[in-house]
Amino acid sequence: MLLGILNAQAAGGVLALYVAVGDSGTLTTSPDGTTWTTRTSGFGTNIIFGVTYGDGLYVAVGNSGTLTTSTDGTTWTTRTSGFGTTGINGVTYGDGLYAAVGNFGKLSTSTDGTTWTTRTSGFGTTNIAGVTHGDGVYVAVGGSGILTTSTDGTTWTTRTSGFGTTGINGVTYGDGLYAAVGNSGKLSTSTDGTTWTTRTSGFGTTFIRGVTYGDGLYVAVGDSGTLTTSPDGTTWTTRTSGFGTTAINGVTYGDGLYAAVGNFGKLITSTDGTTWTTRTSGFGTTTIRGVTFG
């Protein structure tokens, strides 16, 4: 998934940890979503666009092809991503494989987070905005309504997304359903990653920046502080986010808590997706680029 805040529950009794990332290489962690501690990310002043967790490892990605990994969310090691100086926009983990996506259609995979192999994404030179994994299928989304799927991370097949030429900004999987969101309030769902159905998102023409699933609820977020929820991916209800008119860039669910992040360092949490509480993120007024959970 896209840009990130991560709540990761590692094996072996390691404390569950949320990790938020954003502009100026800022990265903060929290054990509860309430109290946040700034960490050294290894990005310098580069923007961090995304973070994920899988198989005992956090992976963060961002500007200038920068990719770092961490086993504890505190100490981060720079890796060679295979992107050169091209920006990496998102990263996910599933079925023993990390997949990172970025500008100019670049996509790379890794089995260990250290050694990365470039793949042909099916996007040509179109930017890829996000990627997810669920039920044995990887789904990548990006500019011009392009959506591709893969069962192994190596061979990618283009699908009809239902977005036309409208950009797709994010995608998630949960409870047997993939959900993709994008510009102009567009949202579509699929049970198999192949056939997609357009839904009414509740955003009107407002851009949707991110989407997640957890505890029986899908949550979509976007510009103008808009946040909607759905129990089934079909019917969406607008909620009061606490962001006012500030853009929300990403959302995740983990350990009984939804967390949404956005511009001006804003961060909110909710136990039910309906009532949201503003938290001090540790970013000051620096933009937080997204949210994820693992």
Residue 220's pLDDT is 97
Tokens of 144: 């011009």
Residue 239 has pLDDT above 70, yes or no: yes
* pLDDT tens figures, 149-190: 999 999 999 999 999 999 999 999 999 999 999 999 999 999
**Based on the number of CB atoms within 10 Å of its own CB, is 244 exposed (0-12), middle (13-18) or buried (19 or more)?**
exposed
Residue 294 has pLDDT above 50, yes or no: yes
**Which residues make beta-bridge pairs with 159?**
147
CA-closest candidate to residue 255, choices 37, 49, 2, 5: 5
Instruction: Give the pLDDT band of residue 16 (cuts 50, 70, 90).
Output: confident
The share of the chain scoring above pLDDT 70, in percent, equals: 94
3-class secondary structure per residue, 244-284: CCCCEEEEEEECCEEEEEEHHHEEEEECCCCCCEEEECCCC
Look up the pTM and report it.
0.95
Residue carrying the six token digits 């949201």: 276
Domain limits of the chain? 5-293
Residue 70 has pLDDT above 70, yes or no: yes
The whole-angstrom separation of Cα 127 and Cα 123 is 7
- Phi/psi of residue 71, nearest 5 degrees: -90, -15
Instruction: Give the pLDDT band of residue 271 (cuts 50, 70, 90).
Output: very high
Spatial contact of 18 and 29, defined as CB atoms under 8 Å apart: yes
Residue 14 has pLDDT above 80, yes or no: no
Residue 17 has pLDDT above 80, yes or no: yes
Tokens of 85: 């100086």
Tell whether domain 5-293 is in CATH 3.90.550.10.
no
Residue 3's pLDDT is 42
